[in-house]
Amino acid sequence: PPIQRGHKADTTWPLPEGPKSLIAELTALLGPSHVMTGSDTERYARDWMGKYTGQPLAVVRPGSTDEVAACLRLALAHRVPVVPLGGNTGLTGATMTKGELMLSLERLNRIRDINPAARTAHVEAGVVLSRLHEAAEAEGLSFPLWFGARGSAMIGGVLSTNAGGSNVLRYGSTRALCLGLEVVLADGRVLNLMSALHKDNSGYDLKDLFIGAEGTLGVITAAVMKLVPAPRAHATAMLAVRSLGDALTLLNRLQEATGGLVEAFEYMPASYQERLQAVRPDLGLAFDRVHEVTILVELGATAPALVTPGTDGAVPLTSLLEDSLGAMMEAGLITDAVLARTEAQRRAIWARREAAAEITFAVKPFIDTDVALPLDRVEAGLTAFQAGLAAIDPAAGLLVVAHLGDGNLHITIFPDPALAGPAHNDRIVEALEDVVAELGGSFSAEHGVGLSKRPSMARRKSPVAIEVMRAIKAALDPLNQMNPGKVLPS
């Protein structure tokens, strides 16, 4: 019989007739090199952290939207659910498979068009983020979505999770950068929403249903993304400040002084600096000692008045940042500062920030969380959670790094190995959720929900909101074909 949802597939050969027939039909459609089974699926079935290892019935690699649609029609006919896969850089288990058909988008990797006049890019879902960066840069433009996994993350994945990153402060998350989508629905119909319009009030904004849905409503196959003028100069610095409250004041004053040119405002506290020193001593530290609160700030500009070096060789944007920081140092908001004077120095500053995943997951066991708080409540939230964690697990370690400019905190807890386990870890997560909820925050900022945050969805999401989400899911995917068991609580 066909594989039923919620059951683990038997992927040993010979397969039951239903799955065996499906794989034969998929092979006829795509060719044998694009349908993988057994041990050939291993590199797709395991997430990059090693936390989730699945067992897909098969992995298929369609090369066009029409082939994606045909695959979904075949899967529906055999009642085999489908799990879409991009660059496999997620952190929440959203691509975990147990008997489902995994659909890799890696061959949908064409940049269909870069339109410099309209500042748009028409791209397929399998385009790697860094490749879009390069294509935009060749036209003097920028795609301003920037994070450590840009060399492997794909456009379909970043749309499906509404990914964020370091530049959300100025440009918004992926949702804000998307004008149009092409989506294949569960029944194989193609929903063409590939509009390049900035305004369209013709009914419901359907594309926003699929951005952040993690493949539970359909498969994103292409998108129209916004591009912006590439900054012609950056001014970057590492700052030491007395407190997070002072850091928020600093951010607001910098925005006023520069006319909103702050592109990144990243928080790396003492615990982060100490872990960086231990795991990646080759990267060095910005200061000769570890400060309790350190901030990476970066400005970007295109205006000739700010980017054209003067007769002394100084870039006005850097001078503007230096003068602004000098005034705030005199006011006592900043205790120390290091400005990047060369591109090599700028890259060294960013290398320390982009080592976050490497240094965070170097120690096990760990609990990875990703929360958002209102900007003026970040300090109170961290203080409250630290107190709660000490009461639950006095020996636990804590590592925080944050996109402070948009209130996104990546909080990793290292529980006492003697206590670590599902019940203990969940108690810690609930304590964090309590603090976040009390302060008006969210238990998920930019990593999505997937599998790992479904309990949080059940505990913290409005029942009315979940009811509406279930209604949308039932309308678009009545047989629960698309990425079942993810996002919505059971």
Q: Which two tokens stand for residue 327?
A: 């005034």
The mean-pLDDT minimum among 5-9, 17-21, 345-349 falls in 5-9
Query: Could you read off the pLDDT of 387-421 as tens digits, one per residue?
Result: 999 999 999 999 999 999 999 999 999 999 999 99
Query: Could you read off the pLDDT of 141-178 as tens digits, one per residue?
Result: 999 999 989 999 999 999 999 999 999 999 999 999 99
**Residue 1: pLDDT above 50?**
no
Using the structure block, give the residue that is written with the tokens 């509404």: 162
Q: Which two tokens stand for residue 65?
A: 């939207």
State residue 313's pLDDT score. Answer: 87
Mean pLDDT, residues 190-207: 96
Per the prediction, the chain carries an average pLDDT of: 94
* CA–CA separation, 173 and 466 (whole Å): 23
Residues with Cβ within 8 Å of 413's Cβ and at least 6 positions away in sequence, in order, are 366, 367, 369, 389, 393, 396, 397, 398, 428
| pTM for this entry | 0.92
Instruction: Give the dihedral of Cα atoms 417, 418, 422, 423; nearest 10 deg.
Output: -140
* CA–CA separation, 32 and 76 (whole Å): 21
The mean-pLDDT minimum among 2-11, 193-202, 321-330 falls in 2-11
The mean-pLDDT minimum among 17-21, 135-139, 280-284 falls in 17-21
Confidence of residue 20 (pLDDT cuts 50, 70, 90): confident
**Residue 2: pLDDT above 50?**
no
* CA–CA separation, 230 and 245 (whole Å): 32
Q: Tell me which residue of 32, 57, 33 sits closest to 44, measured CA to CA.
A: 57
Q: Which two tokens stand for residue 69?
A: 């649609």
Rounded percentage of the chain residues whose pLDDT exceeds 90: 91
Other beta carbons less than 10 A from residue 110's beta carbon: 14
Query: Could you read off the pLDDT of 90-110 as tens digits, one per residue?
Result: 989 999 999 999 999 999 999
* CA–CA separation, 141 and 199 (whole Å): 22
**Hey, which bits of 333-396 come out as E strands?**
334-339, 367-372
State residue 18's pLDDT score. Answer: 62
**59: part of which helix (H) or strand (E)?**
strand 58-60
